[in-house]
Structure 1
Amino acid sequence: MKRILLLAILAGGVVTNGMAQSKGNLNSLGKNDPKAKAILDGVSKKFSQLKSVVANFVLKIEGANNSVTDAKKGTVYLKGAKYKVNLDGQEIISDNKTSWTYAKDANEVTINNVDPNSSTLSPAKLFTNFYDKDYLYRLDGEITEKGKVLQNIEMTPTDKSKNVFKVIVSIDKKNQNISKMKVFEKNGNHYTYEITSFTPNTNVSDATFSFDPKKYPGVEVVDLR
């Protein structure tokens, strides 16, 4: 579960790219909102043209009464389908073939093969249309927050058995960037991922997206490949 939460900061990008390519799924209320599609198209187009991304974010965990129970800062690095996420003593790294999950407190790394057909929420899906059939979406108005005009897009999964029943992605109208995302679970918990800085086309080396055990003396390796 914690791994999914770490990766979900990128869900906005994953979802916007997939939603923008949607062919207009139907629900009981009709087709997906064309206004929302136009916004997602713009974000998707801009994002797909970037060579790399480094983004800092804050993850806020809220209980059912909307009180913040925890807040963590993190950084995500993206280069094509490769990614690295740093958050609260954990690192999740993938070169799109192998993934490494490192826990600092245990000094342990777990290694897995990347399954391209997995339904797990992953940054590896960022440049695909993986989510084009998994969500329905609509524009839920605009708000002004911290001097930015945000366009809120509400998304609901087509699979009602999922624990997540709603996601709200907030798009910076001026810059066409994802500003934040709020995930709603059926158990009443909310997770808000707010991007505090977004730096495109930085010089991120390929070595960022592999795990070098020599840099972690005494690390225990759990190889599940």
Structure 2
Amino acid sequence: MKKTVILGTLLLGLALGGNAQTKTPVGSIGKNDPKAKAILDGVSTKLKSLKSLVANFVLKVEGGNSKVTDSQKGTVYVKGQKYKVLMGDREIISDNKTSWTYSKDVNEVQINNVDQSGQSMTPAKLFTNFYDKDYLYRLIGETTEKGKVLQNIELTPVDKSKNIFKAQVDVDKKAQTIVRMKIFEKNGNKMSYEISSIQPNATVADAMFTFDAKKYPGVEVVDLR
């Protein structure tokens, strides 16, 4: 999966094993589970009510042998449809019209137009009901962890040509927030995300959502628009 797609699925976390799980009946193939929809709608409504959001997360990449091959911490800032992601030596910034991807190790920034077709995934888009059009979803059970009840939802993409063949989202039942997500790729790799902290309605300046080349001496600008 490309970096931009990986980072576009932020604010989600690792689905850990070892918890007792109660299965629920699986609905008809090709149809969405109304119980899962109610949960996802509740999360979407709550997140869209926020003026801004700052979240710290951990990304883990697992190979087909289930061994962790990479682990990185990051932070995402979201305000409306604008966002900024900081992870390792990479920054991804979008003002909802233009996106900038900066790589510190090579001191290069790539500039692109934001895909307005609704096909791409972004941190801001996670706050809408993207799942209604792009995924089929079903509630597969509940797990209990550290005294919290997590509702486990499986999503499968409607577009079967995607490299992702399924994902699992864990939602804190009481707080109505997405806690974790694990993305399963067709090649056997897994991308796992876990939120370590969230600051709702944090103070976030609009200037954060544009790239100022003057602050990056010698940066190579690659304009792909």
TM-score category (smaller protein): 0.7 to 0.9
Preserved CA contact (<8 Å) 2:12 2:179: no
Gap regions ≥5 residues in structure 1: 13-26
Cα distance in 2 for residues equivalent to 1:29 and 1:113:
36
Quote how far apart the aligned CAs of 1:116 are: 0.6
Q: Is the 8 A contact 2:151 2:172 kept in 1?
A: yes
Counterpart mapping for 1:3-18 below 5 A? 3-10=4-11
Query: Offset of 1:2 from its aligned partner?
Result: 1.8
State the 1:157 CA deviation: 1.0
Match for 1:2: what amino acid?
K
Which range is displaced more, 52-61 or 65-74? 65-74
SS, match of residue 155 in structure 1: strand
Q: Deviations over 1:51-87 (max 9, x none)?
A: 0010000001111122111100000010000000111
Alignment of 1:81-120 (within 5 A): 81-117=81-117, 119-120=119-120
- Alpha-carbon distance between aligned partners in 2 of 1:189 and 1:30, rounded to the nearest angstrom: 25
Structure number with the bigger relative contact order (C-alpha 8 A, sep ≥ 6) is: 2
**Structure 1: distance between partners of 2:121 and 2:108:** 23
Distance 1:223 1:58 in 2: 30
CA gap of 1:30–1:122, structure 2 versus 1, over 3 A, is closer
CA distance in 2, matches of 1:176, 1:169: 12
CA contact under 8 A between 2:48 and 2:128: conserved in structure 1? no
Q: Please give the alpha-carbon distance, in whole angstroms, between the structure 1 residues aligned to 2:33 and 2:131.
A: 16
**What is the 5 A alignment of 1:187-202?**
187-202=187-202
Letter in 1 for 2:149: V
| Alpha-carbon separation, structure 2, partners of 1:44 and 1:118 | 17
Residue 157 (str. 1) matches residue 157 (str. 2): yes
2:77 corresponding residue in structure 1: 77
User: Which structure has more helix as a fraction of its residues?
Assistant: 1
Q: Which AA in structure 1 matches 2:183?
A: V
Tell me the C-alpha RMSD between the 2 structures: 1.8
Q: Find the residue that maps to 1:207 and give its secondary structure.
A: helix
Structure 1 residues 35 and 219: alpha-carbon distance in aligned structure 2, compared to 1, 3 A threshold: same
More displaced stretch, 27-36 vs 179-188 = 27-36
Contact 1:55–1:195 (CA under 8 A) maintained in structure 2: yes
Deviations 1:107-152 (A, max 9, x none): 1111112121152222343454444222111111111223322111
Quickly say closer, same or farther: Cα 1:128–1:178, change in 2 above 3 A: closer
Asked if 2 retains the 8 angstrom alpha-carbon contact of 1:80 and 1:127, the reply is no
Counting only pairs closer than 5 Å after superposition, residues 29-40 of structure 1 correspond to structure 2 as: 29=29, 31-40=31-40
Cα pair distance change 1:70/1:166, threshold 3 Å: same
**Counterpart in the other structure of 2:43:** 43
Q: TM-score, normalised by structure 2?
A: 0.88
Calculate percent identity across the aligned residue pairs.
70
142-151 or 152-161: which moved more? Answer: 142-151
d(CA) in 2 for partners of 1:131, 1:33: 12
Q: 1:200: how far off?
A: 0.4
Determine whether 1:139 maps to 2:139. yes
3-12 or 44-53, which moves further after superposition? Answer: 3-12
- Number of equivalent positions: 211
Measured at CA, do residues 152 and 131 of structure 1 come closer, stay the same or move farther in structure 2, by a change above 3 Å?
Answer: closer
For 1:113 and 1:184, locate their aligned partners in 2 and report how far apart those are by CA, in whole Å: 28
Q: Which residue of 2 aligns with 1:22?
A: none
**Higher mean C-alpha displacement, 154-163 vs 181-190:** 154-163
One-letter amino acid of the counterpart of residue 214, structure 1 = K
Deviations 1:72-105 (A, max 9, x none): 0000010000000111100000001111100000
Worse-superposed segment, 41-50 or 114-123: 114-123
